[in-house]
Structure 1
Amino acid sequence: MVYESKCYSIDNWCSTPQQVVNIPITLFESLKGKYFVGQSEALWVGNGSNAWAGLFNPCNSGTNLFANVITISNFSDEYLTAEIWLNARLSEKGIVSQKVSPSNTALEPLPDNKVNIRYVQSTEDTPRGGVNIYDRIVPPNGTLVSEEDGKFIVPPCGNYTIYIKSSSVKPSKVIVALGWWEEKLK
């Protein structure tokens, strides 16, 4: 908690501080029913195949997507590479994940997400267009967490995609989880 005084000069001493509460933006958006979480099914990389999962903002969503957190769980003994892309073009549309929920399940009725998690379990396709904004190494038998705090804002028709690669010949199982909030266009 942060305490602020109502007095602003050295000559004016206050005896009753005012309580001020700060809450994280993710809690604030969750309370409003605008924060969502979800994950892909198992993805398989290795032996020349890659996979991807991401947040896809439909052209008719009427919302901006604020990418907040990604987790990449690597269930193999191999190091993997995760490329994070903004607005990549992929030749496959991907499967819409059914493992998505608002983070605030106390609301009635539950809010519906406009943004989808899409994934391709295994592919030889590579992203085209868009921008590969950064790469991460995903350690063996571990989970990489990257908190983005909503700084990547994706309009309708755009995406925030994690493209996963392995140089191993052995197949590696990966699951990608994402958290985001949505805000209606003005």
Structure 2
Amino acid sequence: MKRYFFPALKLTIVLVLLTAGIYPLFVAGIAKMAPGKGDGVKVERNGLVVGYANVGQQFTGDNYFQTRPSAVGYNAAGSGGSNKGPSNPDYLKIVEDRIDTFLVHNPGVKRSEIPAELVTASGSGLDPHLSPEGALVQVPRIAKLRNIPEQKLRDLVKANTKGPLAGMFGPATVNILKLNLALDETR
């Protein structure tokens, strides 16, 4: 028994030190070199933190671009999806309700023109981005409520669109918090 016990004990101690000590310190060190120093990228306005660039938040006014729905109520401490599949009747009812609500607030939009991301929650429930199409479909509503030409808002969406990573990985995205902050500065 001693022949197996002590090598196993030594291996366990080494792995605990490696996985519970050295690796977390290594990851924390790398994070300190990232934007936001590992604490998230804070978005400020007039010296006050108004949100985080990588955490979605809800905008309730029709005069703002709406973000993707959240299955966790935009609670960053409780990140997660709904775990309901696309054939689940409860999930389908939630999506149908979101579509109906979107159409009420955007009367000129046809049902087929609504991007899926505007009526379905992301896997984390905290996605701060939409596709450019998800933002552009909301332009007529915002233009009317804010009395801003639609072309000016389209240009604003384009100016706040980030292309795919390295020009080829992933889709183009628009950070809705940053877009709405830029919208507030538009006259």
User: Normalising by structure 1, what TM-score?
Assistant: 0.24
For the pair shown, the structure with the greater C-alpha radius of gyration is 2
Higher relative contact order (CA 8 A, sep 6+): 1
User: Normalising by structure 2, what TM-score?
Assistant: 0.24
Structure 1 or 2: more strand by fraction: 1
Structure 1 or 2: more helix by fraction: 2
